[in-house]
Amino acid sequence: MVISQESVVWHTRVRYAETDQMGVVHHANYPIWFEAARSEFCRQRAIDYAQMEREGMILPVLELKVRYLKPAYYEDALTVITWVMELRRSLLRIRYEVWRDTLKLAEGETLQMLVDKTTSKPLRFTEAIASRFINPL
């Protein structure tokens, strides 16, 4: 597992409710973990998403991709590494990796678009917001 300066790390432990009858994590939990890791990314980069929403900006997910490599199990301690792959005009592509110790379990990405909350029309990222997504504090 390689963690670069541009990435943010979020930790979780698999809860019983996240598993199926065989003790394997249900596939629907990975996007939830991606969202939690993305929220942690924003917190660590001083991106106040609630304030963005109050100012009329939202970032809906346009695409979600997940590639499952190995299963996660009940009580596993997991690490989700998150980083920005691409940011241009109104588009933001974020990459995720889910690890158990040194074993990569899943990888994925989301594509989001910055839009006006009222009109749903695309907005350009301001320099201030864009730099927080791209540059670590």
Query: The domain spanning residue 13 has which CATH number?
Result: 3.10.129.10
What span, in angstroms and rounded, lies between the C-alpha atoms of 93 and 112?
6
Give residue 85's domain range. Answer: 8-134
Cα 118–Cα 108–Cα 117 angle in degrees, nearest 5: 5
pLDDT for residue 5 is more than 70: no
Q: Per-residue pLDDT tens for 52-71? A: 999 999 999 999 999 999 99
Percent with pLDDT over 90 in the chain: 92
pLDDT for residue 31 is more than 60: yes
Q: Is residue 2 part of a domain?
A: no
Q: Is residue 3 part of a domain?
A: no
Q: Is residue 1 part of a domain?
A: no
**Average pLDDT, whole number, for the chain?**
95
pLDDT for residue 40 is more than 60: yes
Beta strands in the chain (DSSP E): 8-13, 57-58, 61-68, 77-88, 91-100, 103-113, 115-116
Q: Is residue 17 part of a domain?
A: yes
**pTM score above 0.95:** no
- How many domains are contained in the chain? 1
Select from 31, 26, 126, 113 the least CA-distant residue to 134. Answer: 126
Residues ≥6 apart with Cβ < 8 Å to 67: 106, 107, 108
DSSP 8-state code for residue 126: P
